[in-house]
Structure 1
Amino acid sequence: MTKTYAYIRVSSITQSIDRQLDEIERLDLPKKNIFIDKQSGKDFERKSYLKLKSKLKEGDLLIVKSIDRLGRNYEMIIDEWSYITKKIGADIKVLDMPLLDTRIQPENLVGKFISDIVLQVLSFVAENERDNIKQRQAEGIRLAKEKGIHMGRPKLTLPDNFYVIASKFKSKEISSNEALTILGISKSSFYKYLKA
């Protein structure tokens, strides 16, 4: 007996799955057939996804809301799609893109052919956009540095009496707790700048 499964993914534990889950729940699938990962889509080494993949059998249907929920890497999506549809023999349906449904006209392979072409185009566009985002980030960082804008954590301004107190601490005139209290800085900062 064939089964229908759904896969939901967000990139981190702080992101919400509500939008995807709402649409999947309208399909009236048993909860045990819905697999959720809160993990990056950079590869397919995701706990729930691997569990889902081990359950897929020939004739089963895998539903995802959008192609980028399956993964982010162009070549990996193509390989995974091919593995599921050709090696396992299961079908895939992408809710946001009706052309990505391998069940369309399965008797003459047109559905699978159309899905494969659309998938390749969409995956290329998604990967290209990811590369563009990385390039824009790198350019933004470069420009900020050229303008003298500090990136990352703000630099700690050491108290004027830091070296005097550090010297007293090194010569064991005061304890580390006393030094921290006098300087008003954290223990990690104190030891970091003490080493430097």
Structure 2
Amino acid sequence: MEKQQRKKVKELEKLDKVKIGYARVSSQDDRQKLGLEVQTEALKNCDIIFSEKQSGDNDNRPELTNAILLAKQLSRQNKLVTLQTYKLDRLTRKMLTLANIIDDFNTHGIKLNSILENIETDSLTGRLLCLVLGYVAEIELDNIRIRTKDGLRKAKENGVILGNPSLTEKQELEILKQYQMNTIPISLIAKRLHISESSVYKVARKYGVSRRKNLKIPVKV
């Protein structure tokens, strides 16, 4: 836990009620515009917010651990503690993990609240709804994995080179040469040279060329 957070904890120990916020993003969430700024804005009424960039199927998350440990610490001091998250799958995408967290919180008298689903775990009905949504989140995670694997398989079948293999100077020069030809689409260059489209753009950026300028051939010193 950071020094600033430890100082904040000292202040929280003086309160009777404490609301702890937890926010999480992954690279996929970034593309979906579910950024930290959206979550932290929704959690602005919390007394302290823990945030991190981690996958939802990763149970080893430092900031989530810190948030849970703090919740337990304050609960042992007879504080009324709530851990609040913007959306339930921000906490985890695994139903078993969620069930363990809910059970642990229930044992320590800690309430879990999800803003988007409008669910609290201070009742049996609330805990049941959380588990149902946790099951849905896990199904969604499995579907994402399946779509990713299918996408990679189809890309390989279509001759797309995956990853970022090193290119020789000769290959880079050929990329730059064809890149200057405005009549040739990037997709065709990539297909001709058996590389990804992103590799074409990467080489162009590396040597500072555009499709409207003269070719800048790299010179060895």
Q: Which residue of 1 aligns with 2:52?
A: 37
Q: Which amino acid in structure 1 is aligned with residue 24 of structure 2?
A: R
| Aligned counterpart in structure 1 of residue 151 of structure 2, from 133, 140, 161 | 140
Provide Cα deviations, 1:113-167, integer angstroms capped at 9, x if missing partner: 212221122111111111111111211222222233322225635749xxxxxxx
- SS of match in other structure, 1:60: strand
Q: Which residue of 1 aligns with 2:83?
A: 62
Q: TM-score, normalised by structure 2?
A: 0.58
Q: Distance in 1 between matches of 2:109 and 2:149?
A: 42
Q: CA deviation at 1:2?
A: 3.2
**2:176 matched to 1:156?**
no
Q: What percentage of aligned pairs have identical amino acids?
A: 27
Q: CA RMSD in A?
A: 2.8
**Cα distance, 1:39–1:133 mapped onto 2, change above 3 Å:** closer
- List runs of 5+ in structure 1 lacking aligned partners: 104-111, 161-183, 187-196
Q: Which residue of 1 aligns with 2:36?
A: 17
**Cα distance, 1:10–1:159 mapped onto 2, change above 3 Å:** closer
Q: Which amino acid in structure 2 is aligned with residue 81 of structure 1?
A: I
8 Å CA contact 1:62, 1:93 repeated in 2: yes
8 Å CA contact 1:8, 1:36 repeated in 2: yes
**2:99 matched to 1:88?**
no
Q: Which amino acid in structure 1 is aligned with residue 37 of structure 2?
A: D
Q: Which has the larger radius of gyration?
A: 1
Q: Which residue of 2 aligns with 1:77?
A: 98
Q: Distance in 1 between matches of 2:152 and 2:54?
A: 26
Q: Distance in 1 between matches of 2:70 and 2:166?
A: 52
Provide Cα deviations, 1:35-80, integer angstroms capped at 9, x if missing partner: 2223233234322222221221163111111001111222111211
